[in-house]
Amino acid sequence: MDVPDWVWALTIVAIVGLLAFDFVFHVRKAHVPTLREAAVWSAGYVGVALLFGVGLLLFGSGEAGPEYFAGYVTEKALSVDNLFVFLVIIASFRVPREDQQKVLLFGIAFALIARTGFIFLGAALINAFAWIFYLFGLILLLTAGSVLKNDHDDDDRKADNFVIRLAKKVIRTSEHYDGDKLFTTVDGKRAMTPMLLVMVAIGGTDILFALDSIPAIFGLTQHVYIVFTATAFSLLGLRQLYFLVDGLLDRLIYLSYGLAAILGLIGVKLILHALHENNVPFINGGEPVKVIEISTWMSLSVIVGVLVVTVVASLLSNKGKAMTAIANARRHATAYLDSEYTHDPEERERIFHKLLAERDQIVDMKPKYRQLVRDEPALRKLLDDAAAKHDEAVERGEAEPFERKGLT
């Protein structure tokens, strides 16, 4: 599929325009987005991505539309998995709730720039070396295995990774935030704030995510324009999606299995394609190998089917509900006790009411799941401390009293 330069230019201008619009009208003024705001804008970005795909179906080549949708769905699923790590980074840096949008938007912008570079590098490698399909396929198969381990705590993906340690050594760093400023003054000297550090952490993990996602989408299409647009549209709206699914991420307990299956499928598809186009001397004498290739429509059907099954199974799982309630209670109790988490009294009350709802869920859980709380004295202390702090706010007339229920 040949794409004219003016189409490329319009596409890039549109994507940059969406990011600029997002910053000017939503992120520049620090605030906590409401659920309705996050839902409306998430739906809007998904709608734009779907309309673009329909345009490719109507005006592109026969395979352009299906390849785009397969790539978009895969990249979107991988980006949801990335939110788990973003959540860990933001929590570990204690980013104020009002400023989390700016951090996420920076991460998205950095990811677009980094992945665009990887896309053109990948396209150049594919055009120059046919054996690169073998390498991409192997990377995806290995990634599928690591996803099954659900290892989100690798040193490179922690908030305190090598990039952060290097930045702290090179640049003077303050201990506290100064609004959403990147630099501040400490004892008369200019210092970097944690806001800049968390942006570096998000950007560093985006590079690592690109090493997984770019081979995946090249396994579905080799058209650079489709790879670029599917990747870009999957990232746009990720900020709103973060706030929309915040609290539900832990519920997707089977997502890792679905992603492993999808990456494994694409890895096999790449290796089969590599065999079909083989010119490696020590494989079949450098001649192509007659193998069955997985069609784009088949890939799209399997990807959508696997995601639907894993998401539905996660949402219906009693274990998923229990783990979500416990994880969210821990997170909201920690946030409520953190004086720097938010300076908005309404947001603090919202956090505490969320905590009460999660407490009620825990109380109503089956005994075997309530035992998970009994086995974690640190969690019980955290919840008791949050209740005690709220009692102090009630005595000062800053909060409404609540009904007490035994957690254990």
For residue 150, pLDDT beyond 60: no
- The token pair that represents 373 in the structure block: 């709380």
CA 138 centroid distance within chain: 23
CA 16 centroid distance within chain: 20
Q: From the CB of residue 184, how many other CB atoms can be counted at a distance below 10 Å?
A: 19
Q: From the CB of residue 230, how many other CB atoms can be counted at a distance below 10 Å?
A: 28
User: What average pLDDT score do residues 303-332 get?
Assistant: 85
Positive/negative CA dihedral, 169, 172, 176, 181 = negative
For residue 275, pLDDT beyond 70: yes
- The token pair that represents 35 in the structure block: 């659920």
Positive/negative CA dihedral, 243, 239, 237, 304 = negative
Query: 90-146: per-residue pLDDT in tens?
Result: 877 778 888 888 888 888 888 888 889 889 998 898 888 878 889 888 988 888 887
pLDDT given for residue 165 in this prediction: 65
Q: From the CB of residue 126, how many other CB atoms can be counted at a distance below 10 Å?
A: 16
- The token pair that represents 202 in the structure block: 């998000």
pTM: 0.77
Whole-number mean pLDDT of the chain? 82
Name the amino acid, one letter, at 349: E
Contact 198, 95 (CB under 8 A): yes
Domain positions in the chain: 5-316, 318-396
Q: Is 97 left (phi over 0), alpha (psi -120 to 50) or beta?
A: alpha
Q: How far apart are CA 234 and CA 20, in angstroms?
A: 17
User: What average pLDDT score do residues 284-304 get?
Assistant: 88
For residue 205, pLDDT beyond 80: no
- The token pair that represents 181 in the structure block: 């400023």
At 173, give phi and psi (nearest 5°): -125, 135
